[in-house]
Structure 1
Amino acid sequence: MATFSDVLRLGVELPEVVESTSYGTPALKVRKKLVCRMWGEREYNRDDVHDTEVLVLFCELEIKQVLLDNHPDVLFTVPHYDGYGAVLVRMADVDLDDLADWIEDSYRLRAPATLLRQLDAD
């Protein structure tokens, strides 16, 4: 089971990622732009998600369905995110290698080009 501590440990390896909050929940940001965040208490008022914490990650809208289809036990979405490039991660079921990849992908969508060049150079 992954926790936000794992998300933080993986995320701060990326240039200029800092721990922050979003909607009162733990989050990672790069230059004040959200990279990912934990679901808040108000979002857990659902019958279908009650046994795990949930992380919101950004993805390209064009590959969202592919991600969901390839990882149905880990990734999901809700109507709130229809038409939006974001997926939800069941933290109880995620593999840490996949989590690291998805955090980096989310970062790449949010970070400025200068930081992406720095990341690619490292």
Structure 2
Amino acid sequence: MASWDDVRRIALGLPETSERPSYDGVAAWRVKDKPFVWERPLRGKELHELGPAAPDGPILGVRVADLGVKEALLADDPGLFFTTPHFDGYPSVLVRLDRIGVTELTELIVEAWYARAPRRLAAAHQAQTAPPEAGR
């Protein structure tokens, strides 16, 4: 299962990414000053709202492309992805870090980066990382 070291390595491996604490002092990774993944401990109100379903392990906040992607992730694996009322109407999900594999985490972080990166930077990165076309 994934760790904060994995999050840090994957996020900082993406172009123009920096690590800076968020306003509440927890780790956050940004592309061009736009956060795309962050450490997200649950707050008292959220613990109360979630009740016994509240996870007790590390939680990663992840920006997603849009609310449709958010709903798809939540429906696909509610044991891994969840949300709280704080994030209603906001394109992000919470992830139980101790339940996600590194391969899936990598895909999630890269997609979060693409959701927040400026178009030119995202296009340049995609061009660099795209596999060569067959037959060329």
Per-residue deviation, residues 8-46 of structure 1 (Å, max 9, x unmatched):
111122111111111210110111111111014646961
Query: Retained in 2: the 8 A contact 1:39–1:54?
Result: yes
Equivalent in the alignment of 1:3: 3
Comparing 103-112 with 36-45, which one deviates more in the overlay?
Answer: 36-45
Equivalent in the alignment of 2:93: 87
Matched residues in 2 for 1:41 and 1:9: separation? 24
Q: SS of the counterpart of 2:37?
A: strand
**4+ aligned runs moved over 6 Å, structure 1:** none
What is the identity, as a one-letter code, of the residue corresponding to 2:90?
A: Y
Q: Please tell me whether residue 116 in structure 1 is matched to residue 117 in structure 2.
A: no
Q: Could you say which structure has the higher strand fraction?
A: 1
Q: SS of the counterpart of 1:34?
A: strand
Query: Retained in 2: the 8 A contact 1:2–1:92?
Result: yes
Q: How many percent of aligned residue pairs carry the same amino acid?
A: 33
Equivalent in the alignment of 1:24: 25
After superposition, the CA RMSD in angstroms is 1.7
Matched residues in 2 for 1:6 and 1:43: separation? 27
The alignment covers a number of residue pairs equal to 122
Query: Retained in 2: the 8 A contact 1:15–1:118?
Result: no
What is the identity, as a one-letter code, of the residue corresponding to 1:113?
A: R
Matched residues in 1 for 2:44 and 2:117: separation? 26
What is the identity, as a one-letter code, of the residue corresponding to 1:107?
A: W
| Contiguous gaps of at least 5 residues in structure 1 | none
Task: State the Cα distance separating 1:51 from its structure 2 match.
Answer: 2.3
Alignment partner of 2:77 out of 71, 75, 88:
71
Alignment partner of 2:112 out of 90, 106, 110:
106
TM-score by length of 1: 0.90
Per-residue deviation, residues 53-108 of structure 1 (Å, max 9, x unmatched):
10000111122111111121111111111111010000110111111111111111
